[in-house]
């Protein structure tokens, strides 16, 4: 098959790799807007702190050359002609395809006036992160404002603080990472951030990013303005789908895909942050923009493009904070539980969210070893009422499941 992959992020490069492996006589063109080899965004912070390259270029800088993938860097797709079966590049070139993988990922955003001002920086790609850190290294930045308190914004705030920048995080909700953490777990993260010099302004509404001609601060709902050398818009992530505007491919927040990760147009699949796939538990479409979903979807999407018939079990919500110094893991959801079990001692915290006697989510801080057990119980939809509060006590583990199964 003559295949084209849009994007060389974790989803794109994994899809390209799968296509080469399953169809050695076919051809694969992989396109990226960026001038870099395929890289892993979760390694960005480590890369800018330590300079290490191996975790960043996770498949090796030469992955495309090695696998016979035709990599075209600095090539932005601006449209898709689904009738002619061609992608259209910004320089006017057309590339024909028999099969197409959309893996164009997402960027940070904040839907408010001024978000498109010059100088509002992103930390979602190596290109935008390099721009940001060039300014920091050249001494242009002594203060930074991060609008939004999602996990990428929090990771960036720690990194900037470690580099000596005075960082303020502005968040609408009164606790951190509201989509990922509950207020109790957030308290642990807040204490660490504050101790590491990050200033938190939570429960504060940012109305607009302001500055002329470049962004220089944020206007708050109380009418005051907070100024800084650097503004990062990070209330959420927005899939890169603008190039699909004039195509027949159905989109919502991201690209709509079915349980085979096919789009509304035959022979075109999507994977990763750009795909709005069904949630594994609720079945509702959602963009769960995390690495494990991207690399789980990509091989399925690529194999199906070549004629396989593999179902995708659904995207999961699962997050861990790497740079906090205190391990924190969050899985599933905290939405509408009918019971919450919690255990806290000496900095260790475990909270398990239950609905209809089953685990729908769990949050762990400090000792996170039980995360795998909770995830397994959640995925298998095991009724857990019989364990009572033991479920969150230290030592609860797989052995308890075995004892329970054999009735001892």
Ligand X SMILES: Cc1cc2nc3c(=O)[nH]c(=O)nc-3n(C[C@H](O)[C@H](O)[C@H](O)COP(=O)(O)OP(=O)(O)OC[C@H]3O[C@@H](n4cnc5c(N)ncnc54)[C@H](O)[C@@H]3O)c2cc1C
Binding site for ligand X (CB under 6 A): 6-12, 31-34, 41-42, 44-45, 76-77, 103-106, 123-124, 152, 155, 240, 243, 272-274, 289-292, 294, 322
Rounded to whole angstroms, what are the CA distances from 93 to 86, 101, 105? 10, 18, 22
Question: Of 297, 364, 310, which Cα lies nearest the Cα of 332?
Answer: 364
Given the complex with ligand X, which of 37 and 217 has the nearer CB atom?
37
Asked if 260 and 304 touch (Cβ cutoff 8 Å), the reply is yes
Q: Closest distance between ligand X and the C-beta of residue 138, in Å? A: 21
Please, which residue, 293 or 351, has the CB nearer to ligand X? 293
Cβ closer to ligand X: 11 or 359?
Answer: 11
Which letter, b or e, does each residue of 254-275 get, where b requires 16 or more Cβ atoms within 10 Å of its Cβ? bbbbeebbbbebeebbbbbbbb
Nearest distance from residue 8's CB to ligand X, in Å?
4
**Structural contact between residues 387 and 400, judged by C-beta atoms closer than 8 angstroms:** yes
Phi, psi of 385 (to 5 degrees): -55, -35
**Alpha-carbon distance 268 to 358, whole Å?**
37
- Checking DSSP bridges between strand 358-365 and strand 328-332, what pairing results, if any? antiparallel
The residue (of 31 and 188) whose beta carbon lies closer to ligand X is: 31
**CB nearer to ligand X: pick between 272 and 332:** 272
End-to-end CA distance of the chain: 57
Q: How far is the CB of 408 from ligand X (least distance, A)?
A: 38
What minimum distance in Å lies between the beta carbon of 327 and ligand X?
12
What is the nearest approach in angstroms of ligand X to the Cβ of residue 163?
Answer: 15
Q: Which is nearer to ligand X, 6 or 192 (CB)?
A: 6
Q: Tell me the C-alpha to C-alpha distance, in Å, between residue 21 and each of 7, 15, 299, 308, 399.
A: 18, 10, 10, 14, 40
Cβ distance to ligand X smaller for residue 218 or 301: 301
Q: How far is the CB of 159 from ligand X (least distance, A)?
A: 8
Given the DSSP bridges, would you call strands 120-121 and 230-233 parallel, antiparallel or unpaired? parallel
> Minimum Å distance from CB 275 to ligand X?
8
Evaluate the omega torsion of the peptide bond into residue 97 and state whether it is cis, within 30 degrees of 0.
no
Q: Nearest approach, Cβ of 260 to ligand X (angstroms)?
A: 18
Is the distance from CB of 256 to CB of 237 less than 8 angstroms? no
- CA distance readout (Å), 357 to 84, 181, 402: 53, 21, 19
Closer CB to ligand X, residue 7 or residue 99? 7
């Amino acid at each position: 098959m003559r295949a084209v992959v849009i994007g060389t992020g974790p989803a794109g490069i994994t899809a390209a790799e799968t296509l080469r492996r399953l169809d050695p006589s076919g051809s694969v063109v992989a396109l990226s807007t960026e001038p870099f080899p395929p890289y892993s965004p979760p390694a960005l912070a480590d890369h800018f702190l330590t300079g290490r390259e191996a975790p960043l270029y996770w498949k090796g800088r030469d992955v495309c050359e090695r696998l016979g993938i035709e990599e075209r860097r600095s090539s932005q797709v601006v449209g898709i002609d689904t009738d002619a079966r061609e992608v259209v590049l910004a320089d006017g070139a057309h590339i024909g395809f028999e099969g197409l993988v959309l893996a164009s990922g997402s960027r940070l955003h904040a839907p408010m006036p001024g978000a498109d001002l010059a100088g509002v920086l992103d930390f979602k790609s190596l290109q935008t992160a390099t721009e940001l850190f060039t300014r920091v290294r050249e001494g242009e930045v002594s203060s930074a404002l991060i609008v939004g308190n999602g996990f990428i914004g929090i990771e960036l705030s720690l990194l900037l603080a470690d580099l000596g920048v005075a960082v303020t995080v502005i968040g609408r909700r009164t606790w951190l990472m509201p989509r990922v953490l509950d207020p109790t777990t957030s308290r642990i993260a807040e204490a660490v951030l504050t101790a590491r010099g990050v200033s938190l302004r939570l429960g504060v509404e940012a109305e607009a990013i302001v500055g002329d001609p470049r962004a220089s601060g944020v206007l708050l709902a109380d009418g005051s303005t907070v100024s800084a050398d650097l503004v990062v818009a990070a209330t959420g992530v927005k899939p890169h789908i603008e190039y699909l505007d004039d195509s027949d491919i159905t989109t919502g927040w991201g690209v709509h895909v079915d349980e085979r990760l096919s789009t509304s147009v035959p022979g075109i699949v999507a994977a990763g942050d750009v795909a709005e796939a069904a949630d594994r538990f609720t079945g509702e479409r959602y963009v769960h923009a995390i690495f494990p979903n991207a690399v789980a979807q990509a091989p399925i999407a690529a194999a199906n493009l070549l004629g396989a018939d593999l179902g995708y079990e659904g995207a999961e919500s699962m997050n861990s904070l790497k740079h906090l110094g205190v391990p924190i893991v969050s899985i599933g959801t905290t939405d509408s539980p009918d019971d919450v079990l919690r255990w806290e001692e000496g900095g260790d915290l475990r909270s398990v969210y239950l609905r209809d006697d089953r685990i729908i989510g769990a949050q762990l801080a400090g000792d996170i070893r039980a995360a795998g057990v909770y995830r397994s119980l959640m995925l298998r939809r095991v009724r857990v009422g019989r364990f009572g509060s033991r479920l969150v006590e230290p030592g609860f583990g797989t052995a308890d499941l075995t004892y329970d199964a054999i009735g001892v």
